[in-house]
Chain A
Amino acid sequence: MRLTRLLLEDFRSYASAELHPEPGLTIVAGPNGAGKTNLLEAVFVAVTGRSHRAGSDAELVRHSRPFARVRLDLSDPQGVTARVELLVPAEDTPPEIRKRVTVNGLPRRASAIGDTVRVVLFRPEEMLLLVGAPSERRRFMDAILAQRHRAAARDLAELSRVLAQRNALLRAIRREEATPDGLSFWDEQLAVVGARVLAARLNLVAELAARIPALHDAVAPADEQGEQVRLSYADTLKNAWPERPAASGPAPPPDELEAAYRRRISEVREKELWNGVSLVGPHRDDLRVELAGREVATHASRGQQRTIILALKLAETDLLGADDAPTPIVLLDDVFSELDSDRSDRSLSLLLERGQVLVTMADLATLPAGRRGVTIWEVGEGRLSQAPRVA
């Protein structure tokens, strides 16, 4: 699916805005703070149901307005069209107005929008994906899972709820306000839901690992070609999972992982009670990346890291569009300023081969060479230009 029209009403800084993206590349240009990212955020929220940067939905609504509206008009090459519309109420809006997403006028769960349209967002912060905290890499994996599989989105939400309850109970036990006998229910929930999330992540890493070498070489400059990138998943099960395979591959049956979690959870009981926090589970896991057998975060150059990150985002794009799913719309939030023109140009070409790309940039000089003649929409002071110019 590609976006033919984006319509905003009282979204963030925009009273109203209308953008008509090109089938291929569309640039949104403007100074920092002008509201470029808000446009990408609008597309992202309408498709995934949540913002990647707002603490609460109410933040998305323009000041003192009752609600924000985002409309996506979509069409695919076969001529099928769809309209996705998101309504987000402000904090004080009467309860009759609820957050809702409709597809062609019919209410849908946010998790069902993935059947109609998908989206890949590349944030500038992701340039730190490999050196940053493990939470960044878990977020990278979970964003793919949540859009691809409804069940995974639900499992991830349930896992965070189970962990919040379990941690609260562990803290209460530490303060001697509760007894440990209430833990068994939450242990079991963590084992069961944790095993489902772990299985989904293991499968995802196997799929990413299969795609990374070719994508890496496609993005890499000549001197990085053929370098061995290896992805693996680091879990918290230690010896409690003796059947763990040596290399990344499809996940084992859930009961094997559940049993491993049960064993490991009972092993760390004392430590958890002392710490007052859940020490075992997918929330402590990591995606490990090695280049030529060495840890990327510490041993790869900045350039090598960026090549791998671009390959990961390309793999994300391919996985989201796999299995007859709609081809994702790619949103690049000012990422070229972080890349040399070589890598920018090759990765942009690869993304455009796959579908539609919306790019924000503060400095048009970072636009990869050979891209003259593209459509540019200007943003300034919370307003979007009425029509694009061609540069």
Chain B
Amino acid sequence: MSGLIAPVARLIEEFSKLPGVGRKTAQRLTYHMLRAPADEARGLASALVAVKEEVAYCSTCCNITDRGVDPCAFCADDRRDATRICVVEEPLDVLAIDRTGEYRGRYHVLHGAISPIDGIGPDQIRARELVARVAAGGVEEVILATNPNLEGEATAMYLADLLAPHVPMVSRIARGLPVGGDLEYADDVTLIRSLQGRRQVDLS
């Protein structure tokens, strides 16, 4: 970049590769780091390196785990129901579902969803690992909790086909109205989906 000394230009370049960071934001971040104490820069640098060097993937569920901790804490926890596997796209989704306290089974992290535009097919996500794990037996239900968008649905359909021969039940998380929401403010698609996914009133 013209008029900038090399280290500054390089840092701007690196920052602007990050998702959601444009050139101006990258410049702002760079000048912030210039003004910040050296400790802060070192702290950031070592955190960045650590995230690559100290994070590993669980050989069972493919979720991220501390290096040397395999299987991960979720898979090693015997109190968790091993007969159910909840399949999600990203590690953050595991935290979201687990926070609810409603689900106490195991997880499987795909690290993405099928999206031909982005060159992501079944081989680019951790689908094969999931099928092998389910085919090994002992699983009663696989819950497909990929995102309710086109790519998430494509992934769910693909996995459902592959998993069906190996497990008694493959389920898909429900779609519909948000809790505490107002019917009249819901968009058409959400309303249609919630009508399609209606259930008999449980009188018990």
Question: B-contacting residues of A (Cβ < 8 Å)?
Answer: 91-95, 109, 150-151, 154, 158, 161-162, 164-169, 171-172, 177-178, 182, 184-186, 189
In the complex the two chains form, is B188's CB within 8 Å of A151's CB?
Answer: yes
Q: What are 17 A-B interface contacts by the 8 Å CB criterion?
A: A91-B22, A94-B24, A95-B20, A154-B188, A161-B150, A165-B116, A167-B116, A168-B117, A168-B119, A169-B121, A171-B116, A172-B116, A177-B119, A182-B121, A182-B122, A186-B116, A186-B154
| In the complex, per-residue mask of B129-169: 1 if CB is within 8 Å of any chain A CB, else 0 | 00000000000000000000011011001100000000000
* Closest chain A residue to B114, Cβ basis: A182
Option from B25, B122, B154, B188 in Cβ contact (under 8 Å) with A150: B188
* Closest chain B residue to A162, Cβ basis: B150
* Closest chain B residue to A112, Cβ basis: B187
Given the known inter-chain contacts A92-B25, A150-B188, please indicate yes or no for A178 contacting B150, CB distance below 8 A: no
> Which B residues from 110 to 125 make CB contacts under 8 A with A?
114-117, 119, 121-122
| In the complex, per-residue mask of B7-48: 1 if CB is within 8 Å of any chain A CB, else 0 | 000000000000010111100000000000000000000000
Query: Which of A150, A164, A178 is the most central at the interface, judged by chain B CB atoms within 10 Å of its CB?
Result: A178
B189 interfacial by beta-carbon distance below 8 Å: yes
B residues less than 8 Å from A109 (CB atoms) = 187
CA distance in complex: A93, B23 (Å): 10
* Closest chain B residue to A193, Cβ basis: B150
Say how far A103's CB is from chain B's closest CB, in angstroms.
15
Option from A92, A162, A166, A189 in Cβ contact (under 8 Å) with B24: A92
CA distance in complex: A165, B114 (Å): 10
CA distance in complex: A171, B117 (Å): 10
A residues less than 8 Å from B189 (CB atoms) = 154
CA distance in complex: A151, B188 (Å): 8
* Closest chain A residue to B115, Cβ basis: A165
> Which B residues from 91 to 118 make CB contacts under 8 A with A?
114-117
B residues less than 8 Å from A150 (CB atoms) = 188
* Closest chain B residue to A178, Cβ basis: B121
Say how far A66's CB is from chain B's closest CB, in angstroms.
9
In the complex the two chains form, is A172's CB within 8 Å of B23's CB?
Answer: no
Say how far B26's CB is from chain A's closest CB, in angstroms.
9
A residues less than 8 Å from B122 (CB atoms) = 182
In the complex the two chains form, is A168's CB within 8 Å of B23's CB?
Answer: no
CA distance in complex: A384, B153 (Å): 50
CA distance in complex: A262, B115 (Å): 22
* Closest chain B residue to A172, Cβ basis: B116
* Closest chain B residue to A91, Cβ basis: B22
A residues less than 8 Å from B25 (CB atoms) = 92, 94
**What 3 pairs between A and B have smallest CB-CB spacing?**
A168-B116, A92-B24, A169-B116
Query: Which of B114, B119, B150 is the most central at the interface, judged by chain A CB atoms within 10 Å of its CB?
Result: B150
Option from B150, B187, B188 in Cβ contact (under 8 Å) with A165: B150
Say how far A182's CB is from chain B's closest CB, in angstroms.
6
Query: Which of B115, B117, B122 is the most central at the interface, judged by chain A CB atoms within 10 Å of its CB?
Result: B117
CA distance in complex: A164, B23 (Å): 28
A residues less than 8 Å from B153 (CB atoms) = 185
CA distance in complex: A301, B12 (Å): 59
CA distance in complex: A65, B164 (Å): 55
* Closest chain A residue to B192, Cβ basis: A151
CA distance in complex: A236, B152 (Å): 29
Given the known inter-chain contacts A154-B189, A165-B116, A166-B116, please indicate yes or no for A172 contacting B121, CB distance below 8 A: yes
* Closest chain A residue to B24, Cβ basis: A92
In the complex the two chains form, is A185's CB within 8 Å of B154's CB?
Answer: yes
